[in-house]
Amino acid sequence: MRTTTLPVRSLRRAPSCLLNPSSSGSPTLQPLRCASSSSAAQAAAPAPATTPRPAYTKPQRTPTSNPPAAISNKSMRPGSRKGSYTFNAMSVGDVDTSLPPLPSAPSSSSSNTTSPSSYPSPAAASEFVAAVQYTSPSLTNGNGDNPGAIDWSTSFHGLSTVAFEPEVAKILMAPLNKEDVEIKPDGIAYLPEIKYRRILNTAFGPGGWGLAPRGELVVGEKVVTREYALVVHGRFVAQARGECQYFSEDTIPTAAEGCKSNALSRCCKDLGIASELWDPRYLRQFKKEQCRELWVEHVVSKKKRQIWTRKDTDPQYPYALAKRVGV
């Protein structure tokens, strides 16, 4: 082995471990011997002893019928995220303590013949499923306030399932009484909305029908619109959008009611009520026999124009019969 001796001038830089104080109290430099690396020295060094690692055995988890009252992060499954845990319901009491427990299932060691008493009762099974599963309100199971109710804002429940009785159909499709038909100043014949309601009450009874809104009220610059569905005895019958004009913001509620009545008259068209009003031949004959055209004068603006009225009625305000020229 080679030895190396540090010079005296390296005394200031030598570490304290190399200085050996003498009897006189002054430190003396001791020779530092460093062993050079060699293959022989490495071969002579004994190899460290290795201890084999024991095989990992996954711990077996035994489910208990009574789960802990509180589950902390210490009971988390290895590899799961912080704050998350896995909990398997083993009995009805794991989900809701107020529910009765389910009967225990028959063991595999028992005979093949199983008594009927060993099966879970239908009542307990249904309660367990109801406790574990929860279905949020949707369009198919109600509108949220009453589970199982039909949401008429989107549903078409009962559409074309069965026809009405012949007695009801006879009332709905009865011919119009010409005394009930009115005409607007612009020549459009119509049936007053109250007449539609009377026909529906006669056919289905008061409370046996109704209008369900299918959307919000849309307010335009001069008109309001809204879509409605006609429901009869819990069945969807027809759908239509009503409209009505308004002149100021104060009259919007009144226009909304007129919009509803307009939608009702359009829905009744699908039931055959007042179908003559959409027949051009009937309209021409009605105007020829029951109506007339008159020259009238606007009371405020003094403008003259022609309007349609029934022969048995006079012009209504703000119109009055125009005076003849030269009279």
**pLDDT at site 317:** 87
Asked if residue 124 has pLDDT above 80, the reply is: no
Distance CA 312, CA 236 (A): 40
Q: Which contacts (CB < 8 Å, 24+ apart) does range 25-34 have?
A: 31/3, 31/4, 31/5, 31/6, 32/4, 32/5, 32/6, 33/1, 33/3, 33/4, 34/2, 34/3, 34/4
Dihedral, 170, 172, 173, 174 alpha carbons, nearest 10: 70
**pLDDT at site 153:** 86
Question: Which residues, including other chains, have CB under 8 Å from residue 114's CB and lie 6 or more apart?
Answer: 106
The per-residue pLDDT for range 139-198, each reduced to its tens digit, is 444 454 565 688 888 889 989 888 999 999 999 999 999 999 999 999 999 999 999 999
pTM exceeds 0.75: no
What are residue 43's phi and psi, to 5 degrees? -70, -35
Strand pairing report for 27-29 and 319-321: unpaired
Highest mean pLDDT among 8-17, 20-29, 207-216: 207-216
Strand pairing report for 27-29 and 223-232: unpaired
Distance CA 123, CA 99 (A): 11
The per-residue pLDDT for range 16-60, each reduced to its tens digit, is 545 555 545 555 555 545 444 444 445 455 556 666 676 666 666
What tokens does 99 get? 């529910």
Residues of the chain with pLDDT > 90: what percent? 44
CA distance to 95, 128, 154, per residue, from 137 (Å): 21, 20, 14
Residue-averaged pLDDT of the chain: 74
CB of 263 closer than 8 Å to CB of 210: no
Asked if residue 114 has pLDDT above 60, the reply is: no
Neighbours of 203 (CB within 10 A): 21
* Torsion sign across C-alpha atoms 70, 74, 78, 83: positive
Distance CA 273, CA 230 (A): 13
Distance CA 325, CA 327 (A): 6
Please state the rounded mean pLDDT for residues 281-306.
93
What tokens does 89 get? 């319901």
Neighbours of 238 (CB within 10 A): 18
Residues of the chain with pLDDT > 70: what percent? 54
Domains of the chain: 166-278 (3.30.390.80), 291-327 (no CATH)
3-state helix, strand, coil in the chain (%, to 5): 30, 20, 55
Please state the rounded mean pLDDT for residues 272-277.
94
Asked if residue 74 has pLDDT above 90, the reply is: no
Distance CA 103, CA 130 (A): 17
Please state the rounded mean pLDDT for residues 277-286.
94
Asked if residue 258 has pLDDT above 80, the reply is: yes
Asked if residue 288 has pLDDT above 90, the reply is: yes
Highest mean pLDDT among 121-125, 127-131, 259-263: 259-263
Question: Which residues, including other chains, have CB under 8 Å from residue 142's CB and lie 6 or more apart?
Answer: 148, 149, 150, 151
Question: Which residues, including other chains, have CB under 8 Å from residue 152's CB and lie 6 or more apart?
Answer: 212, 214, 229, 231, 236
CA distance to 96, 287, 289, 301, per residue, from 311 (Å): 77, 10, 9, 25
CA distance to 44, 46, 52, per residue, from 49 (Å): 15, 9, 10
